[in-house]
Every structure is written in C-alpha cells, then in structure tokens.
Structure 1
Amino acid sequence: EAPGDGTEDTEIVQEIKALLDSRIRPAVAQDGGDILFDSFDEATGLLTLRMRGACAGCPSSTATLKAGVEQMMRHYIPEVTQVEQTL
C-alpha cells in the first residue's frame, strides 16, 4: 500500500479489527453470524459494524448482540464511545 492513499488503518482501527477477529467474530460465528468492520470516526468515537447472520433479522438478538459488542469494544478500546450497525 502506498502511503497517503487513505487506506492504511490507524492504530485504533487495527485494535478494533483485532478485537473483532479474536473475541467477537468467533462467538458470533457459533450462531452462524458474522460481524465485519465498516468504519470508525475517531472524532466522535462512533464505530460502525456490518452485522449479518442466522438471526440478523430478529430485532431482539440484534439488540443483544449490539449491546454486547458495544460493551466489549468500550471496555478494551476506550476511544469507542458508541457502536452502530449498518446493513
């Protein structure tokens, strides 16, 4: 990757992706789902994730999943203040 092309991840984004890969995705995969990094706004602390899977359509499981992911992210990466999901 050429420097300055805007695609290199910041340290925080690298931490977020590492946490997703090591802790969150394996747990979600047990239920047949997946969570993918979408974007992170360092100015606001808003992390946007793409959540999909076996029960991405049921609102209760999605809310529970989002709350769990948000809690874990905020615990390990204080820069994350909020988690949103995109489809």
Structure 2
Amino acid sequence: MQDHISSLNIAPMHSPWIEFRPNRPDAQARVLCFPYAGGSAQVYHALARGMPENVELGAVQLPGRWDRRREPLLTRLSDA
C-alpha cells in the first residue's frame, strides 16, 4: 500500500474553507478534518504539528468561525 500512496500526485489546495497548518505543498497524503458543531479549525493545530512530514492536515474553517467570524454564519447544511 505504501508504494501506491507514494505514487499519488496530490496538488496543493488553496481555499478560505480549508486551513493547512503547517502548509506542506509537497505532501504525499492529505487529511481533511471537520470541527465539531460550534468549533473551528484551531482545534486541529496540535494534531497537525504531530503529523509526519509527508502528510498535510487540512481543517475546515466555516464562515462565522475564528478568522472568518465577520462572514455570515451558514443557515443550511447544503451551503457547506
């Protein structure tokens, strides 16, 4: 399986919805995390720091949370 994973071409992502910390554009794998209700991407900072160098962790940052707090909150799940 490791050989299969190392052959994947994972393009860097740039989006206000997903926060990558640390940003690892050459990552071989990417993990996407969703915060609990009312939470923000910051709950995953410590986990992201503990990831191997070839893994990039992205945490979803919804409008109305943390650094996007001035944006209107979502009122429908379909908007997410």
Structure with the largest fraction of strand: 1
Greater CA radius of gyration, 1 or 2?
2
TM-score w.r.t. structure 2 length?
0.32
